C-alpha cells in the first residue's frame, strides 16, 4: 500500500471513530444529563491523559513531546485550541440552527476552504476529478444530514457559529499537517490534545461537573476519551503526514455517515432512502480519493499539495 493510500485509510478510520462519538454521548446522557460542552471538555482531558501515559511508556516519547513543543511553540497550542474551539462552536451551532444545518455548514465549509487554499498555493484550478469528488462528497453530506435536522430557534446565529466551527476545523487540519510532516504523531497528538483540554477546562467549572454515576457512564466516558479522541487523533496526525489537508477533510466526512449508520443499527433510528443515497455518495467520494491519489507533476512525479 502506498503512503498516500495508507494515510487516507488512517484519516478515514479517524472519521469512523468520530462518528461513534454521538452514540456514546447519547448513551451517557440517558443515565446522567450532562451538557455536551462538558462532555467535550472531559473527552479531551481523558484523551490527553491517556496519550501522555502512552507517550511516557514509549522510548524517548516525552523527549519527542518536548521537541514538538520547542519546535512549534505556537503551532501546537494553536491546533489544540482550535480543536477545542471547533467542537464547542459546533455544539452551540446545533442548538441554534439545528443538527442538519450545523453539520452541513460546519463539515462542508472546511474541505471547500482548504481546496481553494490549495489551488491558490499551486496557482492552478482544481482538476475536474478533484471537483467531482468534492461535489459528490458535499452532496452526500447534505443528504446524510437532512433527516431530523429541524431548523433551530436562531438560524442566522447558528450558521455563523457553524461557519466559525468549520473554519477552525480547516485551520486545525492545515496547521496540523505542516507540523505532522516532521513530528511523531503520538507526540503531536498528545501536545495538541492537552492544550485543547486546557482551553475547554473552564467548561467543567461552569457545568458544575460531578463524578460519573455507575460503570456504564464511566465506560462510555473512557470510550469517548480513548477511542474518539486519543485513537482518532493519533490516526489523523499519522495520516496527515502523507495526505493533503483538503483531502483529509473530505475523508473525514465518514464521520456523519458512521453516525447515521450507528444510529440506525444501535438506536433503531430510521435514516430513510435519502440519507442512504447520501451515505453511498460519501463512500463513492472517499473511494474516489483513493483512486485519484496525490497530484502529479508534468514529469509524472507525485507531489504533495500544500496544506
What's the pTM?
Answer: 0.85
Average pLDDT (185-205) is 89
Cell of residue 30, nine digits = 440517558
In the chain, where the domains are located: 3-291
Summarize pLDDT for 138-185 with one digit per residue, the tens: 998 888 876 555 566 888 888 899 999 999 999 999 999 999 988 899
Mean pLDDT over all residues of the chain? 84
The CA distance from 26 to 32, in Å, is 10
The CA distance from 60 to 295, in Å, is 35
The radius of gyration of the chain's CA atoms, rounded to the nearest angstrom, is 19
Summarize pLDDT for 261-303 with one digit per residue, the tens: 887 788 776 777 888 888 899 989 988 887 665 543 333 333 3
Q: What percent of the chain has pLDDT over 90?
A: 39
Q: 10 with 248: CB under 8 angstroms?
A: no
The CA distance from 307 to 91, in Å, is 26
The CA distance from 63 to 67, in Å, is 6
151: nearest Cα among 100, 98, 104, 93:
98
The CA distance from 114 to 201, in Å, is 29
The CA distance from 234 to 229, in Å, is 8
Q: What is the pLDDT of residue 57?
A: 93
Residues 6+ apart with CB under 8 A from 63: none
Average pLDDT (241-269) is 86
Average pLDDT (15-22) is 90
Band (73; pLDDT cuts 50, 70, 90) = very high
DSSP 126: P
Amino acid at each position: 500500500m502506498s503512503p498516500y493510500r495508507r494515510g487516507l485509510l488512517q484519516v478515514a478510520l479517524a472519521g469512523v471513530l468520530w462518528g461513534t462519538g454521538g452514540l456514546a454521548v447519547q448513551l451517557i446522557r440517558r443515565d446522567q444529563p450532562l451538557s455536551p460542552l462538558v462532555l467535550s471538555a472531559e473527552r479531551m482531558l481523558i484523551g490527553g491523559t491517556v496519550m501522555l501515559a502512552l507517550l511516557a511508556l514509549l522510548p524517548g516519547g516525552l523527549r519527542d513531546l518536548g521537541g514538538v513543543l520547542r519546535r512549534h511553540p505556537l503551532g501546537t497550542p494553536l491546533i489544540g485550541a482550535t480543536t477545542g474551539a471547533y467542537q464547542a462552536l459546533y455544539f452551540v451551532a446545533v442548538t441554534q440552527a439545528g443538527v442538519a444545518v450545523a453539520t452541513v455548514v460546519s463539515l462542508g465549509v472546511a474541505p471547500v476552504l482548504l481546496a481553494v487554499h490549495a489551488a491558490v498555493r499551486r496557482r492552478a484550478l482544481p482538476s475536474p476529478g478533484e471537483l467531482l469528488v468534492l461535489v459528490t462528497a458535499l452532496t452526500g453530506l447534505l443528504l446524510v444530514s437532512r433527516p431530523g435536522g429541524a431548523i433551530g430557534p436562531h438560524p442566522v446565529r447558528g450558521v455563523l457559529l457553524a461557519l466559525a466551527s468549520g473554519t477552525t476545523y480547516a485551520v486545525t487540519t492545515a496547521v496540523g499537517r505542516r507540523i505532522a510532516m516532521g513530528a511523531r504523531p503520538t507526540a503531536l497528538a498528545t501536545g495538541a490534545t492537552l492544550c485543547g483540554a486546557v482551553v475547554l477546562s473552564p467548561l467543567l467549572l461552569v457545568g458544575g461537573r460531578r463524578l460519573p454515576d455507575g460503570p456504564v457512564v464511566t465506560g462510555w466516558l473512557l470510550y469517548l476519551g480513548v477511542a474518539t479522541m486519543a485513537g482518532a487523533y493519533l490516526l489523523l496526525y499519522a495520516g496527515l503526514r502523507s495526505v493533503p489537508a483538503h483531502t483529509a477533510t473530505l475523508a473525514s466526512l465518514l464521520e456523519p455517515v458512521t453516525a447515521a449508520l450507528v444510529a440506525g443499527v444501535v438506536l433503531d433510528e430510521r435514516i430513510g432512502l435519502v440519507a442512504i443515497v447520501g451515505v453511498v455518495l460519501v463512500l463513492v467520494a472517499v473511494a474516489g480519493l483513493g483512486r485519484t491519489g496525490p497530484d502529479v507533476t508534468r514529469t509524472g512525479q507525485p507531489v504533495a499539495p500544500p496544506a
